[in-house]
Amino acid sequence: MSDTAAALARTLGTPLPKDFAALTDEELATLDRMLRTAAQRRAQELTSGIEQSLQHIPAVVRPAVRKMFGL
């Protein structure tokens, strides 16, 4: 397994399907980069959604709510 394939497997958190062996290192790197970008965007959007949701909670209790949810 190439370093690029190993990096993609780490990104996915699971061994690569055997059909991925047909992909070039460049294709694997592109897929890895796209997945990492999507994960970062998802995390940013979730964080933004959480922050927006907290605006509906009175400011006095926000710290307690943040602590309760581990934020």
| pLDDT one-digit tens code per residue, 1-55 | 789 999 999 999 999 999 999 999 999 999 999 999 999 999 999 989 988 998 9
Residue type, 9: A
For the entire predicted model, the pTM comes to 0.72
Domain count across the chain: 1
Please give the C-alpha separations between residue 40 and each of 33, 37, 44, 70, in angstroms, as whole numbers: 11, 5, 6, 20
Q: How confident is the model at residue 66 (pLDDT cuts 50, 70, 90)?
A: confident
pLDDT in tens, 43-61: 999 989 988 998 999 999 9
Contact, 38 vs 17, CB < 8 A? no
pLDDT value at residue 14 = 94
- Measured distance CA(28)–CA(34) in Å, rounded: 10
Domain span at residue 22? 3-69
Report the amino acid identity of residue 14: T
Hey, what are 50's tokens?
A: 């959480």
